[in-house]
Structure 1
Amino acid sequence: MKRRSLLKMVATRMIPLAFSGALAQQALGAVSLKKRLRGRVRPGQPGWPSQASWNRLKQASTGQLTRLTPFFAPCAETQTSPACKEALTHVTNTFDLGDQPGLTQTSGWIDAWTSQPSAYALAASNTADIVAAVNFARTHDLRLVIKGGGHSYQGTSDAPDSLLVWTRAMNQVSVQENFVARGCEGTQAPQIAVTVGAGALWIDAYDAVTTRGGRYVQGGGCTTVGVAGLIQSGGFSNFSKAYGTAAAGLLQAEVVTADGRVRIANACTNPDLFWAIKGGGGGSVGVVTQLTLRTRELPASFGAVFFTIRAASDLAYRALVGRIISFYNSALFNPHWGEQMAFNPGNTVNVSMVFQGLRKQQGADIWEPFLAWVRASDDYVFEKAFQCVELPAQHFWDGQFLAKHAPGFTVADTRPGAPAHHMLWKGDLEQAGWFIHGYRSAWMPASLLQADQQARLVDAVCRCARLWRVAFHFNKGLAGAPAADIEAARDTAMNPEVLTAFALAIVAGGEDARFPGMPGAGSDDAKARDNARKIGAAMDELMKVAPGAGSYVSESDYFLSNWQNAFWGSNYERLAQVKAKYDPDGLFFVHHGVGSEAWSADGFTRLASNSVAGE
């Protein structure tokens, strides 16, 4: 099921109004000037750990410590060598990409970042390994990187000259029949929950909870995304309109903080850390090693609707866009429906939506008035016929069942020894190593669906679609969701705009993998930059009806200048306080993460201009 069809200019580091208050300034600056100006060291510089030091780290951990080299180094002399050919086999399978410590799921972003391996990677097998790595990085002033699924578009799971804490092997998943968060005994009722390791992928959680357990857990749509990273970003699934965000379903987490302590975070123990983890962005306040998530009853079935319509003229296209937006507002703006509609150059509209709580015929009947309107005019043709499908909800992430009963929707991980349940949606294959030209997103306020505002929205969509494809991800806005799930999401660190948005609009584009040294990789930078310009211009048209709209941290513009406000809005000041409490010296750094304005763009140099006044 296709979810997406899917810019280093110096990024400005302005602190928005939401972060300009004295409280947040004090929070991020409450360390000595001497410490604030001490940066990270690189290989070959004074202070870089000796080989004996690295050996001690290796001996202190049970995981494997590996010195990394450029992944495509074997292709430097000849592209026909067996080693070069073997390296190329790893970049077309997102499961395989995730299994390589020197690779990332995205190969880079034009003028922003390029996937490069860390100096060393510690493949952690348990929490003690992560404690050892955190203590080592803090003691030696190293740039620390954390990678689980490795899906960060912003390159936050990637940095050269760093120590990588790689959690892939910590992928255990277990269902807890009577879970109560530690310290909450007597105040919380036991519930069925699922505990997952930091390296688990969502398909691992779905297999345990849904396929084998017959229950639902709110997670990610792309099955190879890491559980820990998604929870820390907020997290949406196909059915978020019904079940809220993934972060809101977090019950407890185990976290290694910058001092090397292992902390439990939940509503009763370290509640401030718990809140920050729920949507505050991954890799900023600690290393999450384990998470426990709420599960729910599973509906009997899930369904989906697909079709593509082409309009014969620009005028007819505007009428089509108007009609389908009005139809969405009246018939689909509710907990039953999720996923997306895409509005494209060439006067086409693609619909790829899912539903829950309805049977197949009910889903088809809901669409019939709109379809009848389309059929009644010679101005429209179905380039892809209307299709409504239904399957048992327990088998929605069951690759073996889907291969037999819904062939063509999924792709299995066919490598020898791969877990039998590892599958991904066929449309997500295009994300394997993809190189980004541009990516922008915006929360679209539900007020734009009001009758007196729809014409403005429709005109903006049409202007945008003249330049680039724009997709409305309805499941990534919580307006229309149940009140209880909206309130649960309100108690997370995400930008509150998500609560009143009917969709997340995404305008994005890129090309196939462009890892450094990779044979056959594209190199038309001029075209990539031109595409980036068009993507920006397209989103600018849409933003005319949603000025100042926030953005989703995991799917956003690398070059945002007001990222603090866009990602977290009024919550950023509180996040800054949590950051200062648990990571006062700034060990944890990611691009546009909480507290990153105190560092250079690469995270190696502290910025004296961010020192506290009076120091």
Structure 2
Amino acid sequence: MASRSHLKDGCTPPVDVSNTLPGLGCRCLPNQPCWPSADTWQTFSASVGNRLIATTPPARACHNPFYDFAKCWEIQRGYSEDTWRQLQPGAMTYTNWETYKGEGCLGTSNFLNPPCHQGAVPLFTVNASNVADIQETVRFAANHNLRLVIKNTGHDLLGRSTAPNSLSLWVHYRKKMEVVDAFVPEGAPQGTEGEPAVVIESGVQFGELYKLLDEHNRTVVGGSSPTVGAAGGYCTGGGNGVLSKRYGLCVDNVLQYKVVTADAELRVANAYQNQDLFWALRGGGPGTFGVVVEAVMRTHPPLKNIIKVHVTIVSLFGTAMDKIMREFLARHNQWGKEGWSGYAFNIHKIVHILKFNYYLPDGDLAQSQATIEDFVRYARSFLGVIILQSSVESLPSYLDAVPTFLDMPIKQIGINFIIGSRMAPQTMFESPTGIDALATAIKEAQQDVEDIKALAGIVMVFVAGGQVSKGNSQDTSVQPAWRSALLLPSVGLMWNDDVSYKDQQEIQRALTKAVGRLRAITPGSGAYVNEADPNEPDWQDSFFGANYPRLRQIKHKYDPQGLFICRKCVGSEDWDDDLMCPRLQSP
């Protein structure tokens, strides 16, 4: 366990707090009288099995005066790998969230030279191994008025699992899983029929879950990345995947949660008890209503034949790609009816690239080849267009398909990255006018981000429609726009570590402007809360729609003091921009 003296030997604090006085209800900061003493931290560490960690930035050993050749070599080897990052208590998948107002301790360039700042990396981390650890940490944070964050892998596109001057509750090593043939929610009436399910603890990742279920001849609605946590933020934000068209969103498949709320009580939430909390947890966003310690998810029969299509088209001329993109979008109405789903990427950097990996469970190989070849033939007809790849194959299981989901042009781990999304409704694809509007908005969004110090790309997530549209929005708190959507187009931006803070702010403004093109043509729709612009305007409506007022009521019921607060999360408008002090009035 490390005391405050250890912190003084580490990286510089993210903010100067020496002359800061705590306001009414403000979170306590280091160097303030309210901050726990070294003895208090020591006692707390003992109460959680001596699993309290003084957290340092993951690249610290590559910076003077902390440079260590052997440790730095290991950092350089793992820096851009999810498997390394998820094992570092202070690491995030996207490194910009480790920084605070431009200051941090990033390790991919200019080793030894830049100063090492704590940035947004928490000061302390509890490596929670059991529910009692989680409850004790919640009590400690509440009693000492500390900023508390919850983390599994750090795979969060809004940086909600880290914060400056915070205490982190790290649940990554809670890995128990159990496949159940007939799960009955606790508190259900006698005689309630059970259904196939899997019970998972809060540290389980989808790669681990997919492997277990494959061994038991089952599948589950899950994320495209195997390193994403399965029990927490993915599903509480809605959760979508390749199987969503067939089985719905993740929130449509959760049967029960066990969660530690702000009063440190362990509560069971399902259709028979704490129903309001169960509703809020299924779509109301991560890190908001408590700490999920266990989730029960409905499982489905195995898939023995998944058609996978991989197409990469390169165009030397923008006019040709404009027409190809419009035709690509126009075909989604029919492809959606046939059951296709997957991920597409459109990048303009010297040349224009359209790449997509689409999947059809239980599809016919010959018919699928004819469907895709018809589109490829259209694209090939333009001057200056090269078909780099066009393949159709049958995969024997869902587990075999998983590694191909995010076969993107550029690796997206250990980089600075932000994204903004907007749901395109099904009706937009039913008329030439709607298709033209979407194609134009995507083109204009690309133009908005051409002249900034970032690499830009359009990501199109084709997972809505089908069973997603049949889900009952009254049963979950997920953004109702999911039920009428077909495609989720997004704008993604990545930049190098040496980009100045001023230019980073310009990148963020450019993202908001670019996504605004999509907002303008989709009134009444919304964004996916887990893949959203960090500066999303009118975020309450964009993320939660008509569900927001009820979500606020439930938030106040279970967390009246706002212990669980995160960026653009339910109730966060009651706090200042740093989420450290409550506002006198909500904006």
Give the TM-score taking structure 1 as reference length: 0.81
Q: Which residue of 1 aligns with 2:84?
A: 96
Distance (whole Å) between structure 2 residues aligned to residue 194 and residue 120 of structure 1: 32
1:574 aligns with 2:550: yes
Equivalent of 1:510, from 494, 497, 500? 494
- Partner Cα separation in structure 2 for residue 206 and residue 63 of structure 1: 33
Query: Which of 23, 28, 35 matches 1:41?
Result: 28
In the alignment, which residue of structure 1 is the partner of 2:218? 215
Measured in 1, the distance between the counterparts of 2:129 and 2:150 equals 14
Tell me the residue number matched to 1:494: 478
Query: Counterpart of 1:350 in 2: which secondary structure?
Result: strand
Q: Does structure 1 residue 350 correspond to structure 2 residue 338? A: no
Alignment match of 2:93 (pick from 105, 121, 126): 105
2:359 is equivalent to residue 334 of structure 1: no
Work out which of the residue numbers 553, 557, 562 in structure 1 matches 2:533.
Answer: 557
Q: 1:385 to 1:73 in 2, by over 3 A?
A: closer
Counterpart Cα distance in 2 of 1:543 and 1:258: 35
2:479 alignment partner AA:
N
Question: Could you say what secondary structure the match of 1:52 adopts?
Answer: helix
Q: Select which of 575, 578, 585 maps to 1:599.
A: 575
**Counterpart amino acid of 1:585?**
Q
Distance 1:490 1:90, change over 3 A: farther
Q: 1:139 to 1:534 in 2, by over 3 A?
A: closer
1:368 aligns with 2:373: yes
Deviation of residue 187 (structure 1)?
Answer: 6.2
8 Å CA contact retained: 2:308, 2:395: no
Q: Deviations over 1:505-536 (max 9, x none)?
A: 10011136xxxxxxxx4345565455445444
Q: Distance in 1 between matches of 2:362 and 2:401?
A: 17
Note if contact 1:241-1:335 (Cα within 8 Å) is conserved in structure 2. Answer: no
Measured in 2, the distance between the counterparts of 1:146 and 1:358 equals: 40
Establish whether residue 390 from structure 1 lines up as the match of residue 394 from structure 2.
Answer: yes
1:275 maps onto 2:260 in alignment: no
The amino acid that maps onto 1:57 is F
What does 1:511-550 align with in structure 2 at a 5 Å threshold?
511=495, 521-525=497-501, 528-529=504-505, 531-547=507-523, 549-550=525-526
Query: For residue 54 of structure 2, what is the aligned residue in structure 1?
Result: 67
| Two-structure CA RMSD over aligned residues (Å) | 2.7
CA distance in 1 between partners of 2:101 and 2:179 (Å): 41
* Secondary structure class of the residue paired with 1:555: coil
Q: Distance in 1 between matches of 2:541 and 2:69?
A: 50
Paired letter, 1:385: Q
- Over 3 Å counting, the alpha-carbon distance change for 1:259 and 1:511 in structure 2 is same
Q: 1:335 to 1:171 in 2, by over 3 A?
A: farther
Which residue in 2 is equivalent to 1:322? 326
Aligned to 1:516: none
CA distances 1:143-185 after superposition (whole Å, capped 9, x unpaired): 1111012111211111122111110111111111221000114
Indicate the residue corresponding to 1:464 in structure 2: 445
**Please, which of 566, 584, 587 is the counterpart of residue 608 of structure 1?**
584
SS state at 1:215 partner: coil
Cα 1:487/1:599, change in 2 over 3 Å:
same
Higher mean displacement: 59-68 or 109-118:
109-118
State the SS of the aligned residue for 1:89. helix
Residue 127 (structure 1) aligned to one of 120, 126, 131 = 131
Given candidates 77, 82, 86, the residue that maps to 2:70 is 82
Cα distance in structure 2, aligned partners of 1:566 and 1:508: 18
Q: Give the direction of change, closer, same or farther, for the CA distance of 1:530–1:117 in structure 2 (3 Å limit).
A: closer
Task: Describe the SS at the equivalent of 1:339.
Answer: strand
Please list every run of 5 or more consecutive structure 1 residues that lacks an aligned counterpart in the other structure.
1-34, 399-408, 411-423, 513-520
Task: Give the match for residue 482 of structure 1.
Answer: 467
Secondary structure in 2 matching 1:264? strand
| Partner Cα separation in structure 2 for residue 314 and residue 84 of structure 1 | 43
Instruction: Check 1:336–1:130 CA distance in 2 against 1; reply closer, same or farther (3 A cut).
Output: same
AA matched with 1:47: C
3-state SS, counterpart of residue 490 of structure 2: strand
The worse-fitting range, judged by mean Cα deviation, of 83-92 and 40-49 is: 83-92
> Is 1:287 aligned to 2:291, yes or no?
yes
The structure-2 alpha-carbon separation of the partners of 1:63 and 1:493, relative to structure 1 and needing over 3 Å to count, comes to farther
Cα contact 1:242–1:335 (8 A) shared by 2: no
Query: Structure 2: which amino acid aligns with 1:163?
Result: L
The alpha-carbon deviation at position 106 of structure 1 amounts to 1.4
**For residues 317 and 88 of structure 1, what CA distance do their matches in structure 2 show?**
38
Residue 140 of structure 1: CA displacement? 1.0
SS at match of 2:278: helix
Deviation per CA, 1:459-497, whole angstroms, max 9, x where unpaired?
A: 33333344553222111xx33x137x6324552211101
**Where does 1:440-451 land on structure 2 (aligned, <5 Å)?**
440-451=420-431
CA shift in 2, pair 1:535/1:591, >3 Å: closer
TM-score calculated relative to the size of structure 2:
0.85
Contact 1:439 1:555 in 2 (8 A): yes
The whole-number CA distance in structure 2 between the counterparts of 1:547 and 1:258 is 36
* Structure-1 separation of matches of 2:329 and 2:57: 48
Q: Deviations over 1:124-157 (max 9, x none)?
A: 1111110010111111111111101211121111
Letter of the 1:67 counterpart: A
Deviations along 1:63-101, one digit per CA (max 9) or x if unpaired, are: 611122333333223756333333333322202111111
The answer to whether 1:241 aligns with 2:230 is no
CA–CA separation in structure 1 for the residues paired with 2:130 and 2:363: 42
Is the 8 Å Cα contact of residues 434 and 511 (structure 1) preserved in structure 2?
A: yes
Tell me what 1:589 maps to: 565
Give the distance between the partners of 2:462 and 2:337, measured in 1 at CA: 10
The number of residues matched between the two structures is 538
Q: How many Å separate the matches in 2 of 1:425 and 1:314?
A: 25
Cα offset, 1:196, TM superposition: 0.7
CA drift of 1:213 comes to 1.2
Alignment-derived partner of residue 431 in structure 1: 412
Q: What is the identity percentage for the equivalent residue pairs of Structure 1 and Structure 2? A: 28
Q: Which residue of 1 aligns with 2:13?
A: none
Contact 1:310/1:381 (8 A) holds in 2 = yes
Query: Bigger CA drift: 388-397 or 532-541?
Result: 532-541
Moved more, 226-235 or 301-310: 301-310
CA contact (8 A) 1:598 1:607 kept: yes
Q: Select between 168-177 and 62-71 the one with higher mean Cα deviation.
A: 62-71
Is residue 176 of structure 1 aligned with residue 176 of structure 2? no
**8 Å contact from structure 2 (residues 512, 533) kept in 1:** no
Cα deviation digits, residues 218-258 of structure 1 (max 9, x gap): 11111111111211111111222222111211111110011
1:36–1:498 Cα change, 3 Å: farther
112 and 224 in structure 1: CA distance in 2 versus 1, 3 angstrom threshold: farther
Larger mean CA deviation between 35-44 and 184-193 belongs to 35-44
SS at match of 2:323: helix
Q: Shift of the alpha carbon at 1:558?
A: 0.8
Contact conserved, 2:320 with 2:382, CA < 8 A, in 1?
no
Q: Which residue of 2 aligns with 1:136?
A: 140
